[in-house]
Amino acid sequence: MGRPAGIGKARAPERNSEIFIPAANRGPFGDTKEAMNSLKTSLKICTLVAICGSGFGLVTLSTGCAATATKESTGEYVDDATITAKVKAAFVKDEVVKAFDVSVETFKGNVQLSGFVDTAEEKARAVQIARGIDGVRDVQNKITVK
């Protein structure tokens, strides 16, 4: 009995009469020259996109930090975060206000207090503390007494 045709026999790669490229030198795009050209084209496109994107980014940066009526500038955001942290720290130090019961949000120097407290004294003290922090323009009291 003989073997079926094509099984167990090593065959030489097929050769094109024009160009023979061994399988080891073939890339996903065919021959290596074609692959290199495709790679160069892709690199040029990526570079162009990066250059255009960075130019757009510069335009965005020059206008992206400006404040609007509903959006803070970068500096205002940092200032507001500092005010919020100072108010919360003052609540922690205070014996009357329970810091975990009162939420503090700051927008353009305006502090909003919210949450639930046990007494009217605690509510009034929270407002008094917030007003005493540097940079606070106004305090909105939305604290509810339980």
78 Cα distance to chain centroid = 17
Asked if the structure places residue 17 within a domain, the reply is: no
Do 78 and 138 belong together in one domain? yes
**Residue 38 C-beta-side C-alpha neighbours within 13 Å:** 9
Q: Residue 43: its pLDDT value, please?
A: 67
Q: Residue 81: its pLDDT value, please?
A: 92
Do 82 and 57 belong together in one domain? no
Closest CA to 108 of 143, 141, 142, 70: 70
Do 118 and 84 belong together in one domain? yes
Q: Residue 79: its pLDDT value, please?
A: 87
Ranges under pLDDT 70 in the chain: 1-39, 43-44, 46-70, 72
Do 84 and 139 belong together in one domain? yes
Do 80 and 140 belong together in one domain? yes
Do 54 and 98 belong together in one domain? no
pTM of the model: 0.53
Asked if the structure places residue 94 within a domain, the reply is: yes
Asked if the structure places residue 97 within a domain, the reply is: yes
Do 83 and 140 belong together in one domain? yes
Closest CA to 128 of 90, 84, 89: 90
Tell me the C-alpha distance between 102 and 94, whole Å.
Answer: 12
Do 82 and 140 belong together in one domain? yes
Q: Specify the number of domains making up the chain.
A: 2
For residue 78, what are the domain limits? 74-145
CATH number of the domain bearing residue 104:
3.30.1340
Do 29 and 84 belong together in one domain? no
Q: Residue 134: its pLDDT value, please?
A: 93
Closest CA to 120 of 97, 136, 103: 97
CA 28 → CA 14, 35, 42, 139, distances in Å? 18, 7, 14, 65
Do 98 and 44 belong together in one domain? no
